Amino acid sequence: MPGLFTSFQVKDLRCKNRVVMPPMCMYSADEEGHANDWHFIHYGTRAIGGVGLIIVEATAVESRGRISAKDLGIWSDDQIEGLRRITETVHANGGKIALQLAHAGRKCAIETERIISPSAIRFNEDYQEPNEMSKEEIRDVIHAFRLAAKRAKKAGFDAVEIHGAHGYLINQFLSPLTNQRTDEYGGNLKNRTRFLQEVIEAVQESWEPEKPVFLRVSAEEYHPDGYHPEDLIEVIDLVKLLGIDLIHVSSGGVVPAYIVAYPGYQLVFADQIRKATGVSVIAGGMVVKVEMAEATIRNGRADLVFLGRELLRNPYWTLQAAKQVGVDIPWPIPYERSK
Ligand SMILES: Cc1cc2nc3c(=O)[nH]c(=O)nc-3n(C[C@H](O)[C@H](O)[C@H](O)COP(=O)(O)O)c2cc1C
């Protein structure tokens, strides 16, 4: 079995190691969704720190698809330039970079937006009641994903990740708790997967065939009437042949629910999904120690491991972790004397 510090290839994307920075909202864009110096320094620093694959935070395909007013956006051509500056910096520092394409649906907390969801059910008292999406709105959002993938290509990303997790719009369609439609987008699991299928098809139409597309999923809803890993596996089986190259496994967020989290708490879901679907996975969740990350890869439970908050605390985790387990990886030349 390969180790954490061996390379990983999917389609044309070759990562020098299997450490992933997962998407994490920085809430630092301007109110028109443009990237700025914060993003450029933040992502550039993780590339210098040796992270194999960086996935840029949830980036909204529509302005009403933002979580907050300070999210990154990709609904307009003038947003491409700021994103390109990030990809160029990461590439110049030896990293690979993907963009998470997102739509918040009912979890958009911007008062001035008219928010949408498959059904008119609010997340909790702090959120507006969403408008049930018409067929035309469904088509519009799918088209917004198509255009966003085209812009991501222009911005130079190595991959795109479709955000199907954490209770955002795609997840709202997948979950029986939030999707109570009676048309072809609601009801049984196949119907609830239709929106995701159409989003994937739209993204594939404007993305590059030789570059991978990832899908982020919540494997478990932590609610008795919600879906569970076995159901999610069925969803993945329905969509994987449309061109999903990697599943990025997370959990929760669809409804307010209590989650018992401990180091590695989601690894079991990734293992289950990888074995059942045969698709490569990124696993993680409170992974902090190199031993746990290394064991996850060497035991064949995942193909890549993500470290979120740990990489916020320590952008140089990868360089230090490799040294700790005695693997010699190159450090940036200006830092070599500190190795
Ligand atoms: C500040 C912050 C922002 C986040 N934003 C996103 C996001 O934009 N998209 C996403 O899929 N997950 C997001 N997440 C979840 C992380 O990607 C990750 O799954 C979570 O932090 C658990 O991993 P960890 O225990 O290694 O931090 C966010 C997490 C944090 C802490």
pLDDT in tens, 212-267: 999 999 999 999 999 999 999 999 999 999 999 999 999 999 999 889 999 999 99
**Beta strand 213-218 with 246-250: parallel, antiparallel or unpaired?**
parallel
Q: For position 73, what pLDDT does the model report?
A: 98
Q: For residue 1, name the pLDDT band (cuts at 50, 70, 90).
A: confident
pLDDT tens, 34-66? 999 999 999 999 999 999 999 999 999 999 999
CA distances from 211 to 12, 147, 225, 273 (A): 6, 17, 37, 22
Residue 250 CB neighbours (<10 A): 25
CA 106 to chain centre: 18
Contact 13, 97 (CB under 8 A): no
Show the domains of the chain with their CATH numbers: 8-338 (3.20.20.70)
> In angstroms, what is the span from residue 205 Cα to ligand 1's centroid?
28
pLDDT at residue number 2 = 87
Q: Is the CB of 247 under 6 A from ligand 1?
A: no
At residue 246, the pLDDT reads: 98
> Cα dihedral sign for 67, 148, 249, 3?
negative
pLDDT exceeds cutoff 80 at 176: yes
Contact, 101 vs 84, CB < 8 A? no
Determine the atom of ligand 1 nearest the C-alpha atom of 309: 27
State how far the Cα of 285 lies from the Cα of 281, in Å rounded to an integer.
13
Give the tens place of pLDDT for each residue, 265-297.
Answer: 999 999 999 999 999 999 999 999 999 999 999
C-alpha span between 314 and 94 (Å, rounded): 18
Q: What is the mean pLDDT of the chain?
A: 97
Residue 130 CB–ligand 1 contact under 6 Å:
no
Whether 59 lines ligand 1, by a CB cut-off of 6 Å, is no
| Nearest ligand 1 atom to alpha carbon 67 | 8
With contact defined as beta carbons under 8 Å apart, do 207 and 213 qualify? Answer: yes
Mean per-residue pLDDT, 6-29: 98
